[in-house]
Structures are given as C-alpha cells and as structure tokens.
Structure 1
Amino acid sequence: MIKLSNLTKYYPSKQGRQYIFKNLNFDFPSQGNIALLGSNGAGKSTLFRIIAGSEYPEGGFVVSDNNISWPIALATGIHPQMTGRENTRFIGRVNGVADLDAYEDKVKGFAELGIKYDLPVKSYSSGMRSRLAFGCCVAIDFDIYLIDEATSVGDQKFRKKAKNALLEKSKVASVIMVSHDMKEIREFCDSAIILHKGEMNFYPDLEEAIKVYSEF
C-alpha cells in the first residue's frame, strides 16, 4: 500500500512557485504491476523520489507499509568518494541485508565493473554508476520496485540482462514503472496511472490508459 496525503511539491522560480503537485491525494492499488504514464515534466521522477524518501515534499506525506526500492536506473544514494564495493556494503547495511559478503558478490557480478569495483565512484562513467546502483537495487528483495527508464542503462548486452532481472522480480514483487516505451510497458505492466497536470487517475485496463495518454 502506498498512500499520498495532501502531497505538495514545488520548485521556486523567478515567476514564483512552480507546482508539480498541490494537495494531491491518491491511493496506489495494492496488487499488480502498474505503469506510471505522463508527459515530460509531469513529475513522474519527482514523485518516485518522494515515494522512495530521497526527496521531500513541501507539504503532505507518503504512507506505506511496504519495503520500497529507490528508483532503479537512478544513481540515488551512490557516494562518489566511496568505491563501488564500499557503496555496496553501505547500501546493504542501510537496507538490512543480513549477509553482506554474499550481497557484495551478487552486486559485483551483476554490475560487471571488473577492477573498477574497487575504485572511487567519482571515476566512473554515468553508465557505470547507474549499473552499480541497478545491481545494488535488484540484489535486494523489495516489496515494490520503482523502475524509471531502467532498461536504458548500459550497452545492449547489459540492457537485456537488466530487463530479464526486472521481469523475474515482477513475478514475485510489485512494480511501478516509468517508461516512454509502450512495448516495454505492455511487457511489464497490467494497469496504469496517468499523471497529468498535478492529478492522478488509475486505469485498470492498460490499453485504455495508453490510448488516453496518447491523446495528450
């Protein structure tokens, strides 16, 4: 369960406050894999960061009794001064991973960083940093995975690997996915939420949601 209560988020500008959401109330369905659809700038990634707790709203709050991932494909929580290995162990501790050695081996193998795993993340390319964050996330068993354009990470080989890993996760956990690729949306999701002009509407029929979204 994820509940948004009077959620308000804005960014200051020379023209005053630019609201992304204002007193937004919404209950996410508790079952199924859900697409989060919306045009660029609608606030999808901002909402993901707020749900994950990596960004705070100006008002209102998020309530959930689930263990929720950070947005997969965003290098949230990765410290540039620490090595890949140090980041992995830190993230594992924060998320209550019992066997840190096994977790570390799993992340190292998945991220495919080679010797760079023991170098500071500040020396990584953006793709390498995302692969580390992705590996750290999918190696933890969350109740809900927030997927933000995740399968665009890395080269073709890694994207295929990432996609297969997420499909496996979607069989045993819930997924909320942001993607502009409708083929990918159809592969992962069975329903959708449209975020438009600060309002959210749930569509149990995925194809109906895609049709409505395509008309914006």
Structure 2
Amino acid sequence: MIRFENVTKIYRTDGHRRTILERVSFTLKPGTSYGILGINGAGKSTSMRLIAGTEDPTRGRIHRNLRVSWPLGFAGGFHPMMTGRDNIIFVARIYGEDPRKVLEFVEDFSELGSYLDVPIRTYSSGMSSRLAFGMSMAIPFDCYLIDEVTAVGDARFQRRCQEAFAARRENADVIMVSHDMETIRQWCSQGIVLINGRAIVYEDVNDAIEVYRRLNA
C-alpha cells in the first residue's frame, strides 16, 4: 500500500512559488496498477518522484509498506565517475541484495561486456539505458514506476526487455505516466487525474482517460 496523507508539494525558484500538489490524500492499493494522468505541468513526474522517495513533500506524509522501484530504466541515480560494475554492486548493497547475483544478472542482460569496467560518464545514452534497465530487472520490486515507456536498444534487445518485464509483472504492480492513452489502458486498471493541485482517483481507468481527454479538449 502507498498512502498520501495531506501531501503538499511546493517549488520555490527565483522568488516564485509554484504549488504542484495541495493537501492531497489518496491510497494506492496492492494488486492494482495505476495510470497517472494530467495536462503538462500538472505534476505527474513530481508525483512519481514523491512515490519513489527521491523527493520529499513540502508538507504531509507518504506511507509505503512495499518495495517501490526507481522509474524503470532511469540512469540518473548512477555515479558517473564510478564504473558500471561498481555502480551495480553499490545499488545491490543499498537494496540488501546479493551483489554477486545482481552483477551476474546485469552483466548477462545488458550485454555491455568490458564496458562494465569503465566509468559511466563514458557511456552513450543507449549504454546507460541498457545498464539501468538491467538493474531494474535484477532487483525484485513490489511496484514498478514507469515515467513514459522508452525503447531501449535494438529490436532484439527490446524484446528481451519486454519479456523480462512481463515476468516481473506477474508478481508486481505498475504505476505509470504516459501520454499514450492506449498504453495506459493496456497496463493499468485504475487512474489518477491531477488537476489544479488535486488528485482524483478513478476505479475505472476509462473514466480517468475520459476526464483527461476533456481537460485537453
């Protein structure tokens, strides 16, 4: 379960104050996958970071009693001066996983070969994505966060990613942000619409999609 309790998120930059969420409360139930919808700037990616714990709310609390992933394929958490191998071992230890097993999985899955032993700052964006997706699949999570579905690598590698994630999804939920409503409908059964600092949960994802489309009309 993930519960937002009177959560407010405010950004202050250059003397300006922007409220993204204001006293928002809702509960995301286990066994259910959610799509987060809203017009540009409504706070979709901010909400994902709050759920992941990479940002804290300005006020209020977020309760989690399950293991939530970082956004799928996100490489921003890697240290650029460390090698791919050292990053893998570091992340595995943070999550209490066996570094040797995680390293073996990512080494096989990412197909980066000797590049695992050079600093990540030398990687291309495609190489970073391969490493990040491999890490996402190497550590089991109860809930996976997806901030837009991105293609990783060539067609053969994309199929491997899809197969690996399909296996993970058998025992995990998904919270997704996407501008593609057919993707939301395919992956999610319920929806959350963000509007004017509020979050409205719809038990039928089709109702959420209809509201989103009206907002964009």
TM-score normalized with structure 2 length: 0.90
* Alignment: residue pair count: 215
Distance in 1, Cα, partners of 2:123 & 2:148: 20
Distance in 2, Cα, partners of 1:197 & 1:113: 44
3-state SS of paired residue (2:176): strand
Counterpart of 2:166 in structure 1: which amino acid?
Answer: L
Q: Percent identity?
A: 44
Structure 2, unaligned runs of 5 or more: none
Alignment of 1:30-179 (within 5 A): 30-97=30-97, 99-179=98-178
Report the alpha carbon displacement of residue 198 of structure 1 after superposing the two structures with TM.
Answer: 1.6
Other-structure match for 2:198: 199
Q: Root-mean-square deviation (CA), in Å?
A: 1.8
CA contact (8 A) 2:73 2:136 kept: no
CA contact (8 A) 1:73 1:150 kept: no
Counterpart of 2:67 in structure 1: which amino acid?
Answer: N
Structure 1, unaligned runs of 5 or more: none
Bigger drift between 158-167 and 51-60 goes to: 158-167
Q: Which has the higher strand share?
A: 2
Distance in 1, Cα, partners of 2:15 & 2:155: 42
Runs of 4 or more, structure 1, over 6 Å off, are none
CA, structure 1 residues 168+187, in 2 after alignment: closer, same or farther (shift >3 Å)? farther
Counterpart of 1:33 in structure 2: which amino acid?
Answer: S
CA, structure 1 residues 16+74, in 2 after alignment: closer, same or farther (shift >3 Å)? same
CA, structure 1 residues 44+160, in 2 after alignment: closer, same or farther (shift >3 Å)? farther
Report the alpha carbon displacement of residue 34 of structure 1 after superposing the two structures with TM.
Answer: 1.4
TM-score normalized with structure 1 length: 0.91
2:3 equivalent to 1:13: no
